[in-house]
Amino acid sequence: MSSRKERLVLMEPQERLKLLTNNSNNVEVDPNIPPGRYYRSGIELIRMANVYYTEGSYESAYVLYMKYMTLFIEKIRKHPAFKDVPLTTKEINKQQLREIIPKAEKLKKELLDQYTKEYLLYKSIKEKEDEEERRATEEEEERSRSRSTSKTKSTQGQSTWIGTSLVLPPTDIDNINYPDPNIAVNEFRPSIPDKSSKPTFPTSSTVLQPIVDRSSKPSSISSQTAVSGLRSVVVPTCVMPRFLLLAKNNTLANKETCGILAGTLEMNQLIITHVIIPKQKGTSDSCLMMNEEETFDYQDQHNLITIGWIHTHPTQTAFLSSVDLHTHCPYQLLMPEAIAIVCAPKYNDTGIFVLTPDYGLDYILNCRLSGFHPHPTDPPLFMAAEHIKMNGSAPLEVLDLRDKK
């Protein structure tokens, strides 16, 4: 069992639940991100929570339900543009809350029961292991004392053969019997105490099986539960070549092309299954998505989660420009695993990036400049994504909405 999980199990059940709840409330609203983005993220949040619930990952489901409640009962109202949110959107949100609140309460009780059972089981096994260890220590000390006593007695009572004479251990130094020097010494047979092998001691064969820890301390709206604190993102290897093929005309015209990476959550992995190319306006160094409602509607119909975005650099290498950094920030803020794929066909180069979680995300979040502007490079603001799993056999659907009337 990991030390972190062990500390959690050793906590009082109520305290452990309180810690999970407090982490779930760690949601902040950025006034620079349109409120509509939060409502869109909320829909995807519920999709992910429902998947976790179906899979039996109750901690992760509870975290997401609580985040949704915190965001839309409390935090979103502080957004300066909250008054501009359409009434229909607010009404749909209220209906979601009416369904989620009782779910969260039910999960809370189930988790408390689970934590109580884990706590009592762990304490019982730990006490048994401690008792076995204490007994083993006492037995070892007893054996050690026995060996010491036996050795002392053996030394005090042993006889030594020298030649043909028997010499007894003296009780009086003046009455020592020395062997006759005229008798040849034919053999030397000292009495050797028995050296038995070191005894082995029983150890506990009872091992507490680790309990899968699907909870974590999230830093944004989603939960973080995989390696490096992030869930893995499965990327079909055909994403880049198929996207580049559709972007070819723009690339030849020195215009950027962009698209949405969407998919599903399965067994705690985010799997990219779709690339959606919305209507857009591209220049040599930027791309603006338009009619995003079309993309949202398609995702709603197919229960797709936004996992990131992809775009081209027609004449440059693969990196995140200052505009790219600001574009990606909302994606990663709403989902820490969100990735940005940059394709640079001129250099046959591709990069899959994220903002550095310990510096870049906060820096861009607090940067108020727009357009292309300089950023510091040390420490770095972005890095290659480390939670990617490339899959050569994963299926992919590509939807091009640019020509759709």
Q: Would you list the domain boundaries of the chain? A: 1-158+193-221, 227-400
For the cut 60, the answer to whether the pLDDT of residue 386 exceeds it is: yes
Fold of 1-158+193-221: Methane Monooxygenase Hydroxylase; Chain G, domain 1 (1.20.58)
* Sequence-ordered list of residues with C-beta below 8 angstroms from that of 232, at least 6 positions apart, any chain: 226, 268, 269, 270, 387, 388, 389
CATH of domain 227-400: 3.40.140.10
At 295 the pLDDT is: 93
Rounded-to-integer distance, Cα 103 and Cα 100, Å = 5
At 4 the pLDDT is: 60
Residues 134-152: pLDDT tens digits?
A: 888 888 888 888 877 766 6
Q: Are 256 and 287 in contact (CB under 8 A)?
A: yes
For the cut 70, the answer to whether the pLDDT of residue 121 exceeds it is: yes
Q: Which two tokens stand for residue 306?
A: 């936004």
For the cut 90, the answer to whether the pLDDT of residue 342 exceeds it is: yes
Pick 175 or 363 by higher pLDDT: 363
For the cut 80, the answer to whether the pLDDT of residue 375 exceeds it is: yes
Average pLDDT over residues 382-397: 96
Pick 388 or 155 by higher pLDDT: 388
Rounded-to-integer distance, Cα 166 and Cα 377, Å = 90
For the cut 60, the answer to whether the pLDDT of residue 14 exceeds it is: yes
Q: Where are the beta strands (DSSP E) in 278-378?
A: 280-282, 287-289, 305-312, 339-344, 349-355
Residues 188-214: pLDDT tens digits?
A: 333 333 434 333 333 333 323 333 333
Coil, strand, or helix at residue 217? coil
Give the pLDDT band (50/70/90) at residue 108: very high
Coil, strand, or helix at residue 265? strand
At 106 the pLDDT is: 93
Q: What is the DSSP string of 328-352?
A: HHHHHHH-TT-EEEEEEGGGTEEEE
Average pLDDT over residues 72-80: 93
Domains 1-158+193-221 and 227-400 share a fold: no
Give the pLDDT band (50/70/90) at residue 163: very low
Rounded-to-integer distance, Cα 155 and Cα 188, Å = 18
Give the pLDDT band (50/70/90) at residue 3: low
Q: Which two tokens stand for residue 72?
A: 């839309």
Give the pLDDT band (50/70/90) at residue 6: low
For the cut 50, the answer to whether the pLDDT of residue 178 exceeds it is: no
